[in-house]
């Protein structure tokens, strides 16, 4: 029975419309009873806050999949593991918080790098050409899931995640980057200025002064290297980069007749090979001469012709005499 009650409560929590919510509540009442203690507890404790946990109510606002406090609770649990003791002094607590924050920062940067460099087979379609390496992998997964969804489009993902819904994806060949919220396009932990506001105080004068000082104090080879780097930045279409060479097959023996995997013989091996060939040619000369003499001798002997055989006539002893 409790499994049925849990399933009914899940139907109430994950209802996508008010009709589904009411149907789930009616089913729950039929299981536990209208005036049972459990039903009274639900009415007094949970239903007054249904706008904070029921799916169709929270999907009216932008939440970016943050609908629970699980992340906060998880971070709190990891912080308590780093403390190891509740009686530490302030310096030990500060060091533990620093280590926990550093680990979390490292994991976030690793996720950012994965979104930039990893190319999954699912997102190699033309639809994702403008989003690969620019948008978070989680956002791409949400878009792929929305594209594969079958049924009426309620444009829920547009309200909750600011991503294109299935009805818009059906009319697109390539998703424009402007259809994705800035939240999913930020793949760095460095705070960036607001694009809508004018950029104030952003300059490279200090960096150029440091580079000029390094250039004056460096030797000739170091100056040449600095100049090449600056040329690559200033003239990206005139750099010295070239396309990679054709990939050569490394497995198996080459098919070219001239290609060989044998080593080059040494000088003494060449001398021995030449001497052996001369000796073989000298020893084979008498044998060739004797073979030639025998063949000429056999040719001079006339061949015996066999005499033609006479056919014997058989006369039957008991044959009858013919009449005259």
**How do residues 290-305 score in pLDDT, each as one tens digit?**
565 656 655 555 554 4
Whether residue 104 is found in the same domain as residue 139: no
Return the C-alpha torsion angle 204, 205, 206, 209, nearest 10: 120
Average confidence (pLDDT) over 259-269 = 75
For residue 311, being part of any structural domain is answered with no
Task: State both tokens at 222.
Answer: 């170091």
User: pLDDT exceeding 90 applies to what percent of the chain?
Assistant: 7
Supply the DSSP string of 142-203, one letter for each residue. Answer: HHHHHHH--S----HHHHHT----HHHHTT-SS--GGGS-HHHH---SS----TTSPP-S--
| Least confident piece of the model among 5-14, 23-32, 52-61, 273-282 | 273-282
DSSP alpha helices (H): ranges in the chain?
2-13, 18-32, 37-41, 55-58, 70-83, 90-117, 137-148, 156-160, 166-169, 182-185, 205-217, 220-234, 267-300
For residue 83, being part of any structural domain is answered with yes
For residue 31, being part of any structural domain is answered with yes
- As a whole number of angstroms, the longest Cα–Cα distance in the chain is 159
For residue 251, being part of any structural domain is answered with no
pLDDT of residue 34: 81
Three-state secondary-structure class, residue 41: helix
Whether residue 111 is found in the same domain as residue 162: no
Is this structure's pTM higher than 0.85? no
For residue 263, being part of any structural domain is answered with no
Whether residue 131 is found in the same domain as residue 178: yes
Give dist(CA 39, CA 41) in Å, integer: 5
For residue 241, being part of any structural domain is answered with no
Which of 51 and 236 is assigned the larger pLDDT? 51
Of the residues 33, 58, 83, which one is the last residue of a structural domain? 58
Average confidence (pLDDT) over 95-102 = 87
* pLDDT above 50: residue 150: yes
pLDDT of residue 316: 45
Average confidence (pLDDT) over 40-59 = 89
Whether residue 175 is found in the same domain as residue 217: no
pLDDT of residue 166: 86
pLDDT of residue 140: 92
- Tokens 């001398």 correspond to 271
pLDDT tens profile 102-119: 888 899 999 998 998 888
* pLDDT above 50: residue 196: yes
pLDDT of residue 313: 47
Confidence class for position 211, pLDDT limits 50, 70, 90: very high
Give dist(CA 121, CA 127) in Å, integer: 13
Task: State both tokens at 202.
Answer: 């952003």
Give dist(CA 136, CA 195) in Å, integer: 19
For residue 292, being part of any structural domain is answered with no
Q: Which domain holds residue 163?
A: 121-185
pLDDT of residue 318: 46
For residue 33, being part of any structural domain is answered with yes
Task: State both tokens at 260.
Answer: 């060989």
Q: How many domains does the chain have?
A: 4
Give dist(CA 139, CA 163) in Å, integer: 8
Whether residue 113 is found in the same domain as residue 127: no
Give dist(CA 153, CA 57) in Å, integer: 17
């Amino acid at each position: 029975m409790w499994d049925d009650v849990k399933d009914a409560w899940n139907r109430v929590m994950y209802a996508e419309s008010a009709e589904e919510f009411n149907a789930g509540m009616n089913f729950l009442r039929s299981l536990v009873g209208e005036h049972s203690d459990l039903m009274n507890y639900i009415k007094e404790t949970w239903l007054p806050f249904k706008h904070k946990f029921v799916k169709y109510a929270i999907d009216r606002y932008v939440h970016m999949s943050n609908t629970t406090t699980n992340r906060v609770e998880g971070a709190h649990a990891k912080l308590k593991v780093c403390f190891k003791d509740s009686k530490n002094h302030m310096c030990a607590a500060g060091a533990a918080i620093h280590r926990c924050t550093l680990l979390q920062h490292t994991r976030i940067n690793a996720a950012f790098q994965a979104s930039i460099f990893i190319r999954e087979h699912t997102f190699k379609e033309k639809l994702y050409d403008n989003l690969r390496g620019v948008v978070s992998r989680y956002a791409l997964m949400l878009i792929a899931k929305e594209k594969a969804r079958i049924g009426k489009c309620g444009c829920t993902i547009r309200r909750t995640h600011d991503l294109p819904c299935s009805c818009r994806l059906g009319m697109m060949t390539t998703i424009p980057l402007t259809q994705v919220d800035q939240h999913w396009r930020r793949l760095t932990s460095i705070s960036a200025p607001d694009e809508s506001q004018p950029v104030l105080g952003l300059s490279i004068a200090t960096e150029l002064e440091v580079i000029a000082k390094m250039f004056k104090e460096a030797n000739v080879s170091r100056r040449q290297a600095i100049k090449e780097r600056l040329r690559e930045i200033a003239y990206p279409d005139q750099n010295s980069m070239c396309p990679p060479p054709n990939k050569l097959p490394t497995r198996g023996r080459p098919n070219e007749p001239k290609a060989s995997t044998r080593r080059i013989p040494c000088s003494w091996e060449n001398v021995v090979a030449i001497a052996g060939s001369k000796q073989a040619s000298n020893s084979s000369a008498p044998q060739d001469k004797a073979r030639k003499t025998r063949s000429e001798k056999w040719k001079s002997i006339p061949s015996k012709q066999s005499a033609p055989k006479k056919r014997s006539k058989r006369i039957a002893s008991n044959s009858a005499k013919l009449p005259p």
